[in-house]
Structure 1
């Protein structure tokens, strides 16, 4: 019923009455002619509704019944837009509006990434751009399954990913993998000796398995056999074991670093330039008309999405800050050069001296030309036991 009323309104209809003649004869002629009438009120004068296309036909039926048809009311879209149709600008503007609305509706204007924790959002956006998915891309070019496979191949940390297009938005939901604890594999039956990983003097020994070849207080060199895998029992029988133990020795390490006293440093001058632009439907509209600086500058950009009710709009603000930098030659003091050398050596020590107890350290420094040569001698206690596998054919 509602669809019938809507159809009649879109096509347009009129309400009329007949003046004079016979109402019954008029209705009979309309029925023979196949004219559809509704909401009929019959009496001396007949009132009814008819579609716009059928109004001319009822005039012939009215003449046959010696009556005249008179329009009482006009309804529907054709009559409602009659005044507007005379103004072509409004008509063309309405058509253009719906055309633009249709063109905009077939594009993706916002891309939202949800669920990433360790993977930076910017990296995912850069990969989407490489794959041709950006703001303004046609929705027909977004193939969810293909895009899902390519993103998971690019980012192995993703365990699950789905791509959904909703309206003019593309939502990428993902879940990252949870690192599982390492599996402890069962030990295979193997044999090995314990050898010295560093040169030093043994101060403590704790042998788990095997036959010790040195004693506390002995000096050993790197690669020397400390614990043998050959074990002899009381009966004189010999067997091979997986030797193991802790051998704490006093060792020494030396580190050296060279630092140039004259260096080139890039420092900010304090002059900054801020440029803002509005990104609307993939197009960037500048809000600041100041050009890029000519001197040496460092630039940093921040992209801020605009949201409405947790939905990303095809509108964002991009702000970039240009900070002027100036390169200048500086001469370090001896204290500054030593601080740089110590920092370099500390980085080396973090990698090489793990789980090592430092007892004493003796630094020396000297200046040769424009360089500071810094040496550090360290005496420490560490476990020098290192397994050396025995290959048996």
Structure 2
């Protein structure tokens, strides 16, 4: 019988058979279905072979019948290895403790590196990192993911344009790109200021150049507002036009709001499940089963465990169930109109330049269709309508 990997688990031994009836011994073993393999004759009355540990007791009657002697030469397999380890319990215990401590240390934070930040930003980032629980001695798998850390610290540090976060071994690296302030403005080249859209002039302030419009004038897109030419004919000079021209611009907005709608909201109740995955097989350790919530939202986080710098196929998983409930929102016609008007105004303000002001608004059309209030709203907006136009040689 061949020595397969199963014999390594069950154990086997190498024996020497001495006697006149060694062939008879082998025949009896085969007849009794006793596992022996690698049979080799080393003398006229001596044979060496391997036998399974489970069959050692079964050969005793065969030995007595064939009047041979058995000598155990070598023992191999898991049972003998375990026995040897038990006899050396101190060494084995020390080795296991060393590996366990090394495994624990490999999954802890031992250093936090911040690069590319000024002292002020570095201090702010250090405080933000501490608030997230990232400090020496913390386990990696109990901390937020690298992506979540990056999102939170980037939103908190206003003076940083971008913060990159990486986890290398036991060290968190933070690479900071700070905001760069605009350089000193270069001299403005000769130019005119023209209208970027049609409007009625509301107010004009000429800082440099020659104003071409007055309040209440109607201008089309591209119309001259402030000219870069200064002086009279024959003594004309060219300069960069500067100033502020505010115009009244009209906008239309179409918006609809349902009279009855469903809103999903979180109640604040939650349940957590913790598990360990070994080669994609999840083993629950705390918080079993799904929650009793009728509706819920699930957030899952998974962190790989490490041994030194290598990731091992073991993951620490966290699953959070947040209770959710659906609310029915009903509006009267007047309430729906108020909500639609507010939505339209906020949407318009997002599109306007900074400093623009909504002077007036008027509902042009109002209707209820398919349980929705639909509005068409007209807006009067005061905004800066000037845009530069270079003065080309020969103008």
| TM-score, reference length from structure 1 | 0.52
1:275 pairs with 2:280: no
Contact 1:192 1:389 (8 Å CA) reproduced: yes
Structure number with greater Rg is 1
Residues 292-313 of structure 1 show CA distances to partners (whole Å, capped at 9, x for unaligned) of 7797530246899xxxxxxxxx
Residue 343 of structure 1 deviates from its aligned partner by 2.4
Pick from 140, 146, 150 the counterpart of residue 124 of structure 1. Answer: 146
Pick from 93, 98, 119 the counterpart of residue 94 of structure 2. Answer: 98
Residues 140-187 of structure 1 show CA distances to partners (whole Å, capped at 9, x for unaligned) of xxxxxxxxxxxxxxx993599996x6xxxx132535333232212422
- Counterpart of 2:172? 172
Contact 1:162 1:174 (8 Å CA) reproduced: no
Contact 2:293 2:323 (8 Å CA) reproduced: no
Q: Which runs of 5+ in 1 are unaligned?
A: 1-86, 129-154, 305-315
Residues 252-292 of structure 1 show CA distances to partners (whole Å, capped at 9, x for unaligned) of 33322123445454456x69662343779999651222247
Residues 114-148 of structure 1 show CA distances to partners (whole Å, capped at 9, x for unaligned) of 467379874526899xxxxxxxxxxxxxxxxxxxx
- Counterpart of 1:238? 236
Residue 251 of structure 1 deviates from its aligned partner by 3.3
1:184 pairs with 2:184: yes
Pick from 252, 255, 266 the counterpart of residue 254 of structure 1. Answer: 252
Q: Size of the alignment, in residue pairs?
A: 262
| Aligned 1:349-388 pairs, distance under 5 A | 349-363=349-363, 365-388=366-389
Output the CA distance in 2 between the equivalents of 1:375 and 1:113: 59
Residue 346 of structure 1 deviates from its aligned partner by 0.6
Residue 372 of structure 1 deviates from its aligned partner by 1.9
Residue 357 of structure 1 deviates from its aligned partner by 3.0
Output the CA distance in 1 between the equivalents of 2:299 and 2:85: 47
Cα pair distance change 1:285/1:391, threshold 3 Å: farther
Output the CA distance in 2 between the equivalents of 1:156 and 1:299: 31
- Counterpart of 1:33? none
Residue 332 of structure 1 deviates from its aligned partner by 4.5
| TM-score, reference length from structure 2 | 0.51
Output the CA distance in 2 between the equivalents of 1:161 and 1:94: 40
Output the CA distance in 1 between the equivalents of 2:166 and 2:108: 18
